[in-house]
Amino acid sequence: MENIIAKLENAYRKILVQYDFLAGRLRWSNKKGRLEIDCNAVGAGFVVASCDLSFEELGGIGSPNLANQQFALRKWNALPEDQPLVVMQVTSLRCGGFALGFALSHVTLDGISSKIWLENLASLLAGNDLVSPPYNNRRLLAARSPPRVTFSHPEMLNFESLQGNKSTLLKATFQKLNSQYFQLRLDDIINLKQKARRGGGDNIAHATGFNVVTAHIWQCVAKAKNLENGPEKSSTILYAASIRSRMRPHLPSSYAGNAILSAYATTTCGKIEKRPFSHLVQMVAQADARITDEYAKSIIDWLEVNKGFPYGDAVISSWWNLGLNEIEYPWGRPTWSCPVVPNHGNNAITLIPEVEGKKFKGLHVLVSLPEMEMEKFQFLFQELL
C-alpha cells in the first residue's frame, strides 16, 4: 500500500503542474463582483487514511452509501479560512483494496473536465504522458464587450430581485434536508420510454433515457412541493447541459473549466397533473434544443450584467454518460464510482449509473429535499412509474 500511496502522490504533484490553477484559491473580486481563481500556487490537499471495513462490508457494487462521505475530505480543517480547490484522499480498506476520493470545487472543473483530469492522472500513474493536455484559456467563455442579452432568461434569478423574497429563499436554502437514494432499474427506464412514446410522432424521438427519467423526476418533485395542491403554482426543472459542442467555434475537447449551463423547462402544476407524460418529456427535450451558441452567449452576458444564478424546483446533474467507471488505472478500472457526499443543496438531484462490467443495469437517483417533501416524493417516485 505504501508503494501505491507514493505513486499517487507523485502523479498528483505532476498533474498539478499542468493544472496549476488547481493549486490556487478562490477570491472575491469587489471590482468585478464575482469569484475569481487566484493562481498563487498555495497548494492542493493530499490525505492518507484507513478503514477497518472491507469493500463488501461497505455494501459492494451498486450500493450507494451516505456514509461514504468519509472517503473524501470536504473541509481542510488545518486551513479553515483557506480551502484548497482540490483534495485527494486515498483510503486503504481491510480487504486490501482502496478508495480514491476527490473533493473538487465545481467552480474549477465540470464533469467532463474532471473525467479528463482523472484520465490524465491515470496516465501519469502508468508512467505515460498526459492523454489530453488541458486547454486552460477560459477567455473562450468570457462575456462579450459590450454584453448583449438577446433572450429572456426565466431560469436565472437576479440577486437584486431577491430583496423582497430573500427570507423565503433563505428559508428554502437552509431547511434541514433529507438525502436518499432511489433506484431505477433498466426495466423501469424502458417502461418510461414506452409510456412517453404513446401518440407516436415527435414523442418517439424525444423518448430518450435521460429525457424520460428527467420528466419522471420533474413530475414527482412538482407534486411533492405543491403541498397546497395549487394548480397555478409554477414548477421549473433545471438540468446541466454541456455547451462544448454548441459554441461556434466549438470549445477544444480538452477545455479545462466549467462549460455547462442550465437547460430549463417550466409549466404549472395543474398542467403537470392533467397533461400526458409525453408532454413533459417533450418539454425536457425542448429545453436542451433551446441552448444554441447565441443562447449560451446571451446567458454569459446576462451573468455579467445581473450577477445572478439559476434557480428551479429541481436541479439535475447527471453522471450517466461521464464514463468514470471506464478510466483505466494501473490497478484496473474502478469497481464503483459515485458521489461520496449527500447533495449539499435543496432541490439537488444526481443521476448515478449502475454498471457491471460494460453492462448498464440502471440508475441510482440521489435526491435532497426537506423532510415533508421527501415523504411525498418517495411515494410518488414508485407510484408514477
Q: What is the pLDDT of residues 161-208, one digit of tens each?
A: 665 554 444 445 556 788 888 999 999 999 999 999 987 777 788 999
127 lies in some domain: no
186 lies in some domain: yes
Is the distance from CB of 209 to CB of 351 less than 8 angstroms? no
Catalytic residue among 56, 57, 106, 375: 106
Rg over alpha carbons for the chain, rounded to the nearest Å, is 22
Q: What is the mean pLDDT of the chain?
A: 90
Residue 57 a catalytic site member: no
Same domain membership, residue 86 and residue 223: no
24 lies in some domain: yes
Report, as an integer, the average pLDDT of 262-287. 96
**Domain-terminating residue out of 49, 82, 108:** 108
**Domain-terminating residue out of 108, 132, 154:** 108
Full strand arrangement of the beta sheet holding 86-92: 45-50, 86-92, 98-104
Examine residue 249 and say whether the peptide bond preceding it is cis (omega within 30 degrees of 0): yes
Catalytic residue among 56, 294, 326, 328: 328
In whole angstroms, what is the distance from residue 343 CA to residue 364 CA? 13
CATH number for position 13: 3.30.559.10
Q: Determine the residue type at 257.
A: G
pLDDT confidence of 214, banded at 50, 70, 90?
Answer: very high
Structural domain containing residue 38: 2-108
Is the distance from CB of 57 to CB of 63 less than 8 angstroms? no
In whole angstroms, what is the distance from residue 198 CA to residue 285 CA? 16
Percent of the chain with pLDDT over 90: 70
Kindly report the backbone phi and psi dihedral angles of residue 264, in degrees, each rounded to the nearest multiple of 5, phi listed first. -140, 150
Query: In the predicted model, is pLDDT for residue 5 greater than 60?
Result: yes
**Domain-terminating residue out of 54, 88, 108:** 108
Helices (H), the chain: 2-18, 111-125, 166-173, 186-196, 202-206, 209-225, 269-274, 277-290, 293-306, 371-383
Same domain membership, residue 287 and residue 162: yes
Q: Which residues, 6+ apart, have CB-to-CB distance to 105 below 8 Å?
A: 26, 85, 86
113 lies in some domain: no
| pLDDT tens figures, 63-121 | 566 677 888 887 776 666 688 999 999 999 999 999 999 999 888 999 999 999 999 99
What pLDDT is stored for residue 60 in this prediction? Answer: 64
Same domain membership, residue 164 and residue 98: no
- Whole-model pTM: value is 0.92
Residue 56 a catalytic site member: no
Domain count, the chain: 2
Q: What nine digits make up the cell of 272?
A: 403537470
91 lies in some domain: yes
